[in-house]
Amino acid sequence: MKNRSDVVLSAVLSATLVLAACETAYNPLEDYEQLNPATDMPVPTPVDNTNFTAEQVARGQYLVALLGCGSCHTNGALVGTPNMEQLLAGSDTGIAWSNPLVDRNPGIVYPANLTPDIETGMGSWSTPEIIAMIQTGVSKHSGQTLPVMPWPSYANIHAEDATAIAAYLKSLPPVRHQVPANVQRGQRSTAPFIHFGVYQSKE
């Protein structure tokens, strides 16, 4: 049972919300500027790595290109201006995982630096850790990741293929590039982001 003061309080709150809605109708597009869409991404050339065979590395390079990892994990790719010096070294443009048309400040994740830089990339990751991330989305850095990183699509990848991807990523020249920290829903982001939305014509 609500007591009287609760009822009064909720009435006041609702009135305030209605007033706020009338005065400043939220137009999400006012907060955003249109940027260009993604492009097809090349992948960088591997360097010699003695732990894996050349065939494994070459297959990994082929799979990374085929699966489009660089279209998220390369800086600028998500906004149509990929930085070729930083292929697969992480994106300063994030991807919103909640709807920016509903949330003024949506949650945002930033595609990680996949090069073997020890501080800003995956230099300290073992091959099984990389394979686990690809198949189950569990990150050594951030625990269970959201399926914005499309690991559910990679879950059934053959072990040899996942190993080949790890071999290739480990063979890349390390690039020092710190991506912005993920943004929780409700927090303001300082870096740009894109949103994969589902829309339907009204008419």
Q: Which residues of the chain form contacts with ligand HEC (CB under 6 A)?
A: 64, 67-69, 71-73, 95, 109, 111-112, 114, 122, 130, 133-134, 139, 141-142, 145-146, 148-150, 154, 165, 182
Q: How far is the CB of 37 from ligand HEC (least distance, A)?
A: 13
- Closer to ligand HEC by Cβ: residue 122 or 167: 122
In DSSP terms, 94 is beta-bridged to 193
Enter the DSSP assignment of 93: S
Q: How far is the CB of 184 from ligand HEC (least distance, A)?
A: 11
The least CB distance from residue 158 to ligand HEC, in Å, is 13
Residue 25, burial from CB neighbour count under 10 angstroms (0-12, 13-18, 19+): exposed
Given the complex with ligand HEC, which of 12 and 152 has the nearer CB atom? 152
- Residue with Cβ nearer ligand HEC (39 or 71): 71
In the complex, minimum distance from the CB of residue 32 to ligand HEC, in angstroms, rounded to a whole number = 19
Closer of 28 and 150 to ligand HEC (Cβ): 150
Choose among 145, 122, 120: nearest CA to 135. 145
Kindly give, in sequence order, each residue whose CB lies less than 8 Å from that of residue 136, ignoring residues fewer than 6 positions away.
151, 155
Least distance to ligand HEC, CB of residue 27, Å:
27
Question: What does the radius of gyration of the chain's CA atoms come to, in whole angstroms?
Answer: 21
Give me the DSSP letters along 14-81: HHHHHHHHHHT---GGGG------------PPP---TTS-HHHHHHHHHHHHHTTTHHHHBTTGGGT-
Q: Nearer Cβ to ligand HEC, position 87 or 134? A: 134
